[in-house]
Amino acid sequence: MAMKLNLLIWLLAIVLLTATLPTDAQQPTKIPRIGFVDPSTAAGTAVLLETFRKELSKLGWTEGTNVTIEYRFGEQKNERLSALVADLVRIKVDLIVVTGMPLALAAKRATTTIPIVMINIPDAVGAGLVASLARPGTNITGFSSLSPELNTKRLEILKDAVPKLVRVGLLLPPGASIGQDLQLKEIGPAALALKLTLEEIQTHSDAKGLESAFQTAKQKQVNAIMTASTRPYFAAKKPIVDLAVKYRLPAIYFQKEFVEEGGLMSYGVDYDDLYRRAAVYVDRS
């Protein structure tokens, strides 16, 4: 009887274990989806994206294994940005990473529930994205690049580096934007204080636009060049550096990658570090 009872218990245990296996198989672990949207191009963002992915991997998140990343690129067309963010909201990603002010504002309008990590925002408080840097108070967090304030410092360095500097050409994207207005608000008074004439030259970041912009700079007899801190200009860093050399115009840039392409000098935020830290915020979310 004891042997029969033990055998019955073992049979029941096997049946119960077998019965639970299909149930477990029907409930796979959900793989989180991150939406990554940038106003530039895939090629122009490749280096920074690789930094972001490497840091995610160090934190235990490997793309294609336990996390999926949905990429969207504006191709330097701001009119597309709202639709790109709306698409990520539609497919219900778990988190959205945005770069630049226009995208951050589009994401804020698109969702109040999906966490948003923003990168390279000049003035998040002034733009109404967050209540304060210490306590955002919304579904948005991230980092400020302090681009407007750094433009003033770049102008000072440029004057120290270029003897008898009188006239500086400032490359700007066509049309007004919050980020652009903030940069002009800072750099205009700085130019006056340094007794420099600032020549604003609006240009797209395509080859034809940039060539025309440098021709305009020579016609205006500028002694040096600066560029507004924008993602499209970062994507076009090699052509911009080459044109500065071609037209023999000393220039200061907003990222070290311009110098790596042969540019004269740079002063600005370490964007690699911003993208690494953004990965940390994604991990915490």
pLDDT in tens, 99-111: 888 899 999 999 9
pLDDT band at 145 (very low <50, low <70, confident <90, very high): low
HSE-CB of 261 using CA atoms within 13 angstroms:
20
Parallel, antiparallel, or unpaired: how do β-strands 95-99 and 33-38 relate?
A: parallel
Angle at 96 between CA 92 and CA 98, to 5 degrees: 145
Determine contact, residues 270/238, Cβ cutoff 8 Å.
no
pLDDT band at 13 (very low <50, low <70, confident <90, very high): very low
Average pLDDT over residues 253-268: 93
E-only strand ranges, the chain: 33-38, 68-73, 95-99, 116-121, 140-144, 167-172, 197-202, 224-227, 251-253, 265-266
- Quick count: other Cβ atoms within 10 Å of Cβ 190? 18
pLDDT, one tens digit per residue, over 210-251 is: 999 999 999 999 999 999 888 788 889 999 999 999 999 999
pLDDT band at 179 (very low <50, low <70, confident <90, very high): low
pLDDT, one tens digit per residue, over 46-88 is: 989 999 999 999 999 999 999 999 999 998 888 899 999 999 9
Q: Which two tokens stand for residue 270?
A: 């370490």
**Distance in angstroms (rounded) separating the CA atoms of residues 259 and 242:** 11
pLDDT at 65: 94
Decide if pLDDT at 91 tops 90: yes
Determine contact, residues 81/44, Cβ cutoff 8 Å.
no
Domains, the chain, in order of start with CATH, read 33-145+271-284 (3.40.50.2300), 147-266 (3.40.50.2300)
Which of helix, strand or coil describes residue 225? strand
pLDDT at 181: 64
